[in-house]
Structure 1
Amino acid sequence: MRFEDLLIPKPEGLYCPPGDFYIDPVKPVSRALITHGHADHARSGHAAVMASQQTLDIMAIRYGEDFTKTRQTAEGRTTVGDVTVSFHPAGHVLGSCQIAVEQGGTRAVVSGDYSRVANPACAPFEPVDCDLFITEATFALPVFNHPPPSQEIGRLLDSVREFPERAHLVGAYALGKAQRVIMLLREAGYDAPIFIHGALQRLCDYHIEQGIPLGDLRPATMDKAEAKKLREAVVIAPPSAFASPWVQRFADPVISFASGWMQIRARARQRGVELPLIVSDHVDWPDLTRTLEELNPEEFWITHGRDDALMRWADLTQRKARPLHLVGYEEEGE
């Protein structure tokens, strides 16, 4: 069958005609299958939602229990309309999944956002044989070759030891990146209390409920006098907090930010970041091209991101590819 008979791009998102559902739609629809809980992929207002149980729980935390009229946990292989769907770990954030859609012996896999680097805060990426692979292209430029996360966390701990009198404020998105940074610190042997902004509390609590051992977390609600007494302290907050009065309680903090974009020094300077940490929850260029080589699908499509270089790579390696230019997917996960 033609791939376009199985999945087609629409303004609402990727649509499956034989299943009558959308995957990660950016507008309210009657039935949505959701890859993961980041707000650019998981929106409220859909009449029915199917996702992993963890993604459903995360959506309830972020949007309230009434975020949809009907929710269905993705378990095993499930028939939806005239297609079979299954969910497979994507290695991006807790609960993140690739969605496989099958009909008539043809399988398409929609990856959502994904990572091939081990992440102690979520299940690892699971390669799924497919005829059509649909990928993101957030970091689809050869310049993006991210270092090992342990190396970046080592730089953070070196700075903490070098400047023990200055609190280290690490910007990290509330879902996924914050918990990953915490787990990387724990794996590196940092067992001191980690202070977290209130916006991270509920999602960190949920990770702990799901068996992710984040260790001793304490609220970063101290006043200026208490903040000045902190030594060798790591404080994690969402990036938005750095533009709020909250940050003013810390005297001369080391401002850090954990993101794949920190490989671009101009971005670090624009954000006033003293200690950029290149920690990404997306595939970089080597992992993206390696994934396409390993899966070797008959064709791959690119949902969003930097597709020009990837299309050029497809041409050079004689692979069939198509950019979809879907809109509405931002950088929240980074």
Structure 2
Amino acid sequence: MAGAMRPAGPGARWRPSELLLPTPAGLYCPPADIHIDPVRPVARALITHGHSDHARAGHGAVLATRETLAIMALRYGEGFAGSRQVALPGEAIRIGEVDFRFLPAGHVLGSAQIAVESRNLRIVASGDYKRERDPTCAPFEPVPCDIFITEATFGLPVFRHPPAAGEVAKLLESVRLFPERTHIVGAYSLGKAQRLMALIREAGYERPIYIHGAVEKITAFYREEGVPLGETRLVAGQDRKALGGEIVICPPSATQDLWARRFPDPVTAFASGWMRIRARARQKGVELPLVVSDHADWDDLLATIREVGAGEIWVTHGEADALVHWCGTAGLRARPLHLVGYGDEGEAETEAEAADAPEA
């Protein structure tokens, strides 16, 4: 890449910016000539997970976990890239003189951190991640490293997420108290919707869960992967007036559409870390806010930084300034990368959800 400096001699330790650096297309590894989660089409891409702000179509070659490649094919079609290669969890894949390893990120099914290692320097790019237990995907694995690249979607002290099981209990209690009302839960179609279903089943709810058409393809894929979701039924073709007392899961945008008003006296819920901010819930017309996030909250961001033991922290997106400031007080070097093109928790999913299936 033009302008990239080279080490002083063969075998010399890389400077961090020689191994990985931010570019307009995304994080770039010059020695391997490959990008991580590029926001525009590139020749070669490593993809951390299937959300549409990280996984875009049109790259020449894509390396990702088997599940992420399958999700991209579901959303974009089989021709989403010129070629694809499966990265097995923990397997070192050498490109040039750089080893890449995909390790679980705990965000959604197939999500991975990417460890980039060469010449005694290891940089770990987290992608999006969470630390709370999730029955639908492999848990986050802390990876010791020299530099940790972290997201900071909820990188403010106000964001301390309660246990998701408690939020699901609130939903089921509302269903019990209002058996005549349909409970319509806004949840992003990849990851959040399926996690909610699994948690609802773990809480003992056995009735069918009704789903919007935009949730169907990914839900079917999760089920094929062995995730226990119980019985689901498409809303399409149902007599909506007969769905009082039932749970319906749909994209968040659908909760504010005419689609949602056709159910009996609906209770509108939204599952998101942003529901910690009550003003945001009121702004979106949410009657039952559920603080269920697929991202690390403030405490888990700090705990993860301590756990990986990196001496330097790079922050890709979200509330970077607060996290960078905390790192400084903890004696760590830190800087924001100011990468553009990555959304907050699922906002970039709206377009992908519509493409999945607009009918319900």
TM range (shorter): over 0.9
Residue 12 of structure 1, CA deviation: 0.3
Partner of 1:3: 16
Residue 211 of structure 1, CA deviation: 0.6
Alignment of 1:263 with 2:263, yes or no, is no
Give me the whole-angstrom Cα distance separating, in 2, the residues matched to 1:293 and 1:333: 27
**Aligned partner of 1:116: which letter?**
R
Question: 3-state DSSP class of the match of 2:81?
Answer: coil
Give me the whole-angstrom Cα distance separating, in 2, the residues matched to 1:222 and 1:132: 52
Alignment of 1:200 with 2:215, yes or no, is yes
Q: Answer whether contact 1:165 1:232 (CA < 8 A) is retained.
A: yes
**Aligned partner of 2:132: which letter?**
V
**Aligned partner of 2:276: which letter?**
Q
Partner of 1:129: 144
Give me the whole-angstrom Cα distance separating, in 2, the residues matched to 1:211 and 1:239: 26
Residue 164 of structure 1 is aligned with which of 164, 176, 179?
A: 179
- TM-score for the superposition, normalised by structure 2: 0.91
1:175-231 superposed Cα distances (whole Å, 9 cap, x missing partner): 0000000001001001110000000111000000101011100001245xx222224
Partner of 1:179: 194
Residue 259 of structure 2 is aligned with which of 236, 242, 246?
A: 246
Partner of 1:45: 58
Question: 3-state DSSP class of the match of 2:100?
Answer: strand
Q: Answer whether contact 2:152 2:316 (CA < 8 A) is retained.
A: yes
- TM-score for the superposition, normalised by structure 1: 0.98
Alignment of 1:108 with 2:123, yes or no, is yes
Aligned residue runs from structure 1 range 270-309, under 5 A: 270-309=283-322
Structure 1 segments of 4 or more deviating over 4 A? Answer: none
Partner of 2:70: 57
Give me the whole-angstrom Cα distance separating, in 1, the residues matched to 2:259 and 2:27: 40
Give me the whole-angstrom Cα distance separating, in 2, the residues matched to 1:222 and 1:249: 13
1:78-118 superposed Cα distances (whole Å, 9 cap, x missing partner): 11122000100000000000000100111110000000000
Residue 308 of structure 1, CA deviation: 1.3
Gaps of 5+ in 2: 1-13, 348-360
**1:146–1:332 Cα change, 3 Å:** closer
Give me the whole-angstrom Cα distance separating, in 1, the residues matched to 2:309 and 2:56: 32
Q: Percent of counterpart pairs with the same letter?
A: 60
**Aligned partner of 1:52: which letter?**
T
1:137-163 superposed Cα distances (whole Å, 9 cap, x missing partner): 100000000000011000000100000
CA RMSD of superposed structures (Å): 1.0
Q: Answer whether contact 1:120 1:180 (CA < 8 A) is retained.
A: yes
Give me the whole-angstrom Cα distance separating, in 2, the residues matched to 1:15 and 1:234: 44
Residue 19 of structure 1 is aligned with which of 32, 36, 56?
A: 32
